[in-house]
Amino acid sequence: MTGFEPFDGDSFNISEKLVSEIKNRGIEDINLETKILSVDEKGSRYVSEYIFENKFDCIIQLGFSKKARKIKLESKAVNMIQMKIKDNSGREVTRGFVINSAKSELSTTVDLEKLENNLSEVMLSSDAGKFVCNETYFRTLNTIQERNLRDRFGRNLPCVFIHLPSEDYVTLSKQVNFLIRIINKINCKKIIDVVAAIILNEDKKILVAKRDSNQPHPGKWEFPGGKLEPHESEEEGLKREIFEELKLNIEILSNCGEINHLYEEYFVNIKAMNAKITENSDPLELIVHDEILWVSCEDLTSLDWLEANLKLVEIIQNQS
């Protein structure tokens, strides 16, 4: 998270104060690194150069806007500098590019509509100005695009610039609470480790199950399995899950593949293992599913799959 030092003769910049408040308060489960940038070309380059050499899961850039009456989530940065005042180094570019030969504008890598949440003190904006705030934002977004920077979930590295109003319009505590909330929205995805069984019968058909109406993503097809419990091995967890879901005992034969997938609410790591039903297993029972099918490998794509499981279908068909 970055803010700016005071500029244009002011002795105070609310973005600097907010960064300090949030740093001192801390955010649970978040390793927050902060920096107060100088209001000049050197400051505008700092983040774009720093994130290329260091790994982050999101970038929140804050700046003060004298015109703002609300917290402004900036949707884009433009490749233009057009200063009406000097920056803190004495530079005054009346008209020029931020980066020669770069795109004319770049969009935030964050879904701002989900962050806004219809709060009266917050608004979406498409004008980050043409001063050092916009310059900083554009350089950062350009590095993310050119270097294909990603967060740990494989998303384009989330980056947003937020223009802050004076405390006369939105209190400091409201601004702090909003920023903490959006950092959690962007960055705090629960990571779930999941195991799945690719169970084959004697006809080389694969057991698939349809989720019932009481589960998330009802009606979607999946390979049976579930979440690992703490300190549980993958093999132990898979055998337990299959017995709990289907009352089947299985023998694990080999690893099938691993995938990960980002849902709106969480991030899943799935390890799939080839298996067969043991000879002494009890008959199959449906405990948490509406229906099961034995499906040939080539017919797997005909079903309406849970998104993450669709990636497993590709692996299975490629192996076949």
* 180 touches 223 (CB < 8 A): no
Q: Does 299 lie in the same domain as 157?
A: no
Alpha-carbon radius of gyration of the chain: 26
- Give how far Cα 273 sits from Cα of 204, 225, 238, 240, Å: 15, 10, 9, 14
Instruction: Please tell me the predicted confidence (pLDDT) of residue 148.
Output: 95
List the structure tokens of 119. 């709060």
> Which of 187, 220, 255 is the endpoint of a domain?
187
The domain containing residue 68 runs over which residues? 2-187
Say whether both 197 and 171 belong to one domain: no
Looking at the structure, do residues 174 and 195 belong to the same domain, yes or no? Answer: no
| Residue-level pLDDT at 114 | 75
Enter the DSSP assignment of 300.
Answer: G
Q: Are residues 100 and 152 in the same domain?
A: yes
pLDDT at 262: 76
pTM of the model: 0.68
Three-state SS for 18? helix
* Contact status, residue 303 vs residue 295, Cβ threshold 8 Å: yes
In tens digits, what is the pLDDT along the chain, a chain of 320 residues?
999 999 999 999 999 999 999 999 888 778 899 999 999 999 999 999 999 889 999 999 999 999 999 999 999 999 999 999 999 999 999 999 999 999 999 999 998 887 766 678 999 999 999 999 999 999 999 999 999 999 887 889 999 999 999 999 999 989 998 998 888 888 766 778 899 999 999 999 999 999 988 887 899 999 999 999 988 999 999 999 999 999 999 999 999 998 888 777 777 889 999 999 999 999 999 999 999 999 999 999 999 999 889 989 999 999 87
Same domain, residue pair 11 and 113: yes
Nearest to 183 by CA among 118, 121, 110: 110
Task: Give yes or no: residues 117 and 22 share one domain.
Answer: yes
120 shares a domain with 175:
yes
**Do 161 and 257 belong together in one domain?**
no
Q: Please tell me whether residues 209 and 167 are part of one structural domain.
A: no
CATH number of the CATH domain containing 80? 3.40.630.20
| Side chain identity, residue 201 | N
Asked if 7 contacts 92 with a C-beta cutoff of 8 angstroms, the reply is: no
Q: Are residues 26 and 174 in the same domain?
A: yes
CATH of the domain at 200: 3.90.79.10
Q: Is 100 exposed, middle or buried (0-12, 13-18, 19+ CB in 10 A)?
A: exposed
Tokens of 251: 């023998």
Using the 3D structure, point to which of 187, 212, 245 is the last residue of a domain.
187
User: In terms of residues, how long is the chain?
Assistant: 320
What is the DSSP-derived secondary structure letter of residue 204? S
Beta strand spans in the chain (E): 2-4, 35-37, 59-64, 71-74, 76-78, 105-107, 122-125, 159-164, 190-199, 206-211, 221-222, 225-227, 250-262, 266-277, 289-295
Q: What is the pLDDT of residue 226?
A: 94
Same domain, 78 and 138: yes
pLDDT the model gives residue 221: 95
Residue 304: phi and psi, rounded to 5, are -90, 95
Tell me how far apart the alpha carbons of residues 102 and 270 are, in angstroms, rounded to a whole number: 39
Phi, psi torsion values for 254, nearest 5 degrees: -170, 170
Contacts of 18 (CB under 8 A, 6+ apart): 3, 62, 164, 172, 175, 176, 179
Which of 134, 168, 187 is the endpoint of a domain? 187
Number of domains observed in the structure of the chain: 2
Is the same domain home to 12 and 152?
Answer: yes
Q: Which pLDDT value is given to residue 230?
A: 83
